[in-house]
Chains A and B, each alone.
Chain A
Amino acid sequence: MKRFVDPHVIIVVIAAFNEAAVIGPVVRDIRQSYPNVVVVDDGSSDGTAACALASGAVILRHPVNLGQGAALQTGITYALARGGEFVVTFDADGQHACADIARMVRALIEHDAEVALGSRFLGKAVGISTARRMLLHLAVLFTRLTTGLKVTDAHNGLRVFTRAAARKVKITQNRMAHASELLDQVARHKMSYVEVAVTISYTNHSRAKGQTLLGAADIVGDLVLGKLARGN
Chain B
Amino acid sequence: MTVGLLVFLVYGTSQRGKSRFVFYATLAIGAAGLFFVWMPEQANDLAYLLGVGRGADLILYCWILTSLIMALNLHVLIRENQQVTTELARQLALAHPLKSLEQINQTFIPGTAIECGADEIRRISGSGAEA
Give me the interface of A with B, judged by CB distance under 8 Å.
11, 20, 24, 35-38, 40, 43, 45-47, 49-51, 53-64, 66, 70, 73-74, 77-78, 81-82, 172, 174, 225-226, 228-231
Closest 6 CB pairs of A and B: A47-B116, A231-B20, A54-B120, A36-B131, A51-B116, A59-B98
Is B90 touching A70 in the complex (CB atoms < 8 A)? Answer: yes
Is A24 touching B94 in the complex (CB atoms < 8 A)? Answer: no
Q: What are 23 A-B pairs at a CB distance below 8 A?
A: A20-B115, A43-B109, A46-B114, A47-B115, A49-B107, A50-B114, A51-B116, A53-B129, A54-B116, A54-B123, A57-B131, A58-B131, A60-B94, A63-B92, A63-B107, A70-B90, A78-B94, A81-B94, A82-B131, A174-B82, A174-B86, A225-B76, A231-B19
**Residue of B with least CB distance to A84:** B131
- Give the B interface residue count (CB, 8 A): 43
B127 is contacted by which of A11, A38, A56, A66 (Cβ under 8 Å)?
A: A56
Contact partners of A74 in chain B: CB under 8 A: 89-90, 93-94
**Residue of A with least CB distance to B89:** A62
Contact partners of B108 in chain A: CB under 8 A: 45
Interface SS majority for chain A: mixed
Tell me the B81-105 residues at the A interface (CB within 8 Å): 82-83, 85-86, 89-90, 92-94, 96-101, 104
Contact partners of A38 in chain B: CB under 8 A: 131
Is B101 touching A70 in the complex (CB atoms < 8 A)? Answer: no
Contact partners of B19 in chain A: CB under 8 A: 228-231
A46 is contacted by which of B89, B93, B115 (Cβ under 8 Å)?
A: B115
Is A46 touching B104 in the complex (CB atoms < 8 A)? Answer: no
- Quote the shortest CB–CB distance from A95 to chain B (angstroms): 21
Contact partners of A53 in chain B: CB under 8 A: 98-101, 104, 124, 127, 129
Contact partners of A73 in chain B: CB under 8 A: 90
Q: How far is the CA of A73 from the CA of B113 in the complex (A)?
A: 27
Q: How far is the CA of A73 from the CA of B91 in the complex (A)?
A: 11
Q: How far is the CA of A87 from the CA of B80 in the complex (A)?
A: 27
